[in-house]
Amino acid sequence: MTRFLSAIMMILATGVADFAQAGPKITNPVKAEVPAPELKTREAVEQGPVTIPRGTRVPLALINSVSTKHAAVGDKIYLESVYPVVVDGRILIPPGTYVSGSVTSSKRPGRVKGKGELYLRFEHMILPNGTMRDFTGRIGQLDGRSPEGFEREEGKINSEGSKGEDAGTVAQTTAAGASIGVIAGAAANNAGMGVGLGAAAGAAAGLASVLLTRGPDATLERGTQLDMVLDRDLYFTDDEVSFDNPVRGRPTDIGNGPDPNRNNTNGGRLGRFPL
């Protein structure tokens, strides 16, 4: 009897344990995946029905001047468009559009050799109706009146060389020294020696002047005209390029532009330019 009761108790205990282990399983409900909203790319946001393609040239004139004598990286330059830009028979950049940019590199000329170097970048545009755009652009052509050189591939503006002026400086001081030597030699009854000593002293003075002064700085004067080239497409809506009078004539007077003889007007003085 005892064995029988023990067997029943073991069966009941085993059944209770199995029921506890096999109890109802609670699982987390699976939420249905909701597709994320489609994100517009930056290009899709910026694109509009009107496009000014990359490589378009915009004729500009400088409102302020810039020179390697004072310019530093980050200095701002300000310009104004002087001729309408037409795309597909429609004026999209009228005269009087403002453009700003900055100096990306500035190097002064050396005292013995080396020319001044200037690099510029264009960054912001304001159309006459107030529409604004950030962009990137570079110089494609420099004013033909400017004595500065321009390397199109690099976009580098070089100052004018001074080798001819240096030779002229030495020649002038040599001649002046020889004249003084003639007078001094005549007083000492030895004109020949006086000429030689005077010429040598004059040449030394001229050479010292050349070595102690810098060559001409690279300078873009107020009113200098140049072509800006767009480095990427610009997109506008129709409203952003709608103008009451897109051709309003030449912009305000912004200066006479570069003087091609700027570096040749020393007024008869010896030497080149101030330090």
Burial class of 61 by CB neighbour count within 10 A (0 to 12, 13 to 18, 19+): buried
Residue 249 has a pLDDT of 56
Instruction: Break the chain down into helix, strand, coil percent, rounded to 5.
Output: 30, 25, 45
Q: Is the pLDDT of residue 103 over 60?
A: yes
What Rg, from alpha-carbon coordinates, does the chain have? 39
Q: Is the pLDDT of residue 212 over 60?
A: no
Per-residue confidence (pLDDT) for residue 45, from 0 to 100: 41
Q: What is the mean pLDDT of residues 202-215?
A: 52
Residue 170 has pLDDT above 60, yes or no: no
Gap between the Cα atoms of 34 and 214, Å rounded: 71
Mean pLDDT of 266-273: 43
Average pLDDT, the chain: 75
Residue count of the chain, please give it.
Answer: 275
Q: What's the rounded Cα separation, in Å, for the pair 71 and 103? A: 7
pLDDT at 88 over 80: yes
Identify the CATH class of 42-161+216-260.
mainly beta
- Whether residue 239 is predicted with pLDDT greater than 90 in this model: the reply is yes
The torsion angles phi and psi of 139, rounded to 5 degrees, stand at -75, 130
How far CA 53 is from CA of 62, 123, 131, 233, 234, in Å, comes to 23, 16, 18, 5, 6
| 256/189: higher pLDDT | 256
Say what the pLDDT of residue 189 is.
Answer: 58
Place of tokens 């990286």: 73
Q: Name residue 57's beta-bridge partners.
A: 229
- pLDDT given at position 193: 55
What pLDDT is attached to residue 124?
Answer: 98
Neighbours of 46 (CB within 10 A): 13
Residues of the chain above pLDDT 90, percent: 46
pLDDT at site 33 = 56
Q: How confident is the model at residue 66 (pLDDT cuts 50, 70, 90)?
A: very high
| pLDDT tens-place string over residues 180-191 | 544 554 555 555
Residue 149 has pLDDT above 80, yes or no: yes
Q: Average pLDDT, stretch 29-36?
A: 53
Mean pLDDT throughout 146-163?
86
Query: Do 69 and 216 meet the contact criterion of CB atoms below 8 Å apart?
Result: no
Instruction: State the pLDDT at residue 164.
Output: 46
Q: What is the mean pLDDT of residues 31-43?
A: 50
